[in-house]
């Protein structure tokens, strides 16, 4: 895997494929930031604004859906997809 971009464009909804996707590989940093923010108890609106570049005041449903789907995918990637766990071994 090549070095992922630090701040890639964010889709409205994260992938829900049963295997890792190119989108997942491009968004490793995004997933890490989401997981870290959750572990620190950050407000989802702040995370949507800073990490996903979405305005939860102007587009609350879009921002919330993007946040939830990307956080769920970040958890899947670390638990099932093994992308983040294996990244250091390559």
Cα 90 versus chain centre, distance: 21
Does residue 2 sit within a domain? no
Q: What is the pLDDT of residue 13?
A: 97
Does residue 15 sit within a domain? no
Per-residue pLDDT tens over the stretch 12-43: 999 999 988 999 989 999 999 999 999 999 99
Does residue 9 sit within a domain? no
Confidence of residue 90 (pLDDT cuts 50, 70, 90): very low
Per-residue pLDDT tens over the stretch 53-85: 999 999 999 999 999 999 999 999 988 866 655
**The CA-based dihedral angle spanning residues 34, 84, 39, 44, taken in that order and rounded to the nearest 10 degrees:** 10
Q: What is the pLDDT of residue 88?
A: 43
Does residue 28 sit within a domain? yes
Does residue 44 sit within a domain? yes
Structural domain that includes position 43: 22-85
Question: Euclidean distance between the first and final Cα of the chain, in Å?
Answer: 8
- Total number of domains constituting the chain: 1
């Amino acid at each position: 895997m090549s070095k992922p971009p630090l701040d890639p464009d964010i889709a409205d909804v994260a992938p829900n494929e049963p295997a890792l996707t190119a989108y997942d590989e491009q968004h490793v940093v995004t997933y890490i930031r989401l997981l870290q923010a959750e572990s620190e108890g950050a407000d989802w609106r702040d995370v949507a604004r800073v990490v996903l570049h979405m305005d939860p005041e102007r587009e609350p449903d879009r921002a919330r859906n993007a946040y939830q789907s990307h956080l769920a995918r970040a958890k899947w990637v670390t638990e099932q997809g093994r992308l983040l766990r294996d990244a250091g071994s390559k």
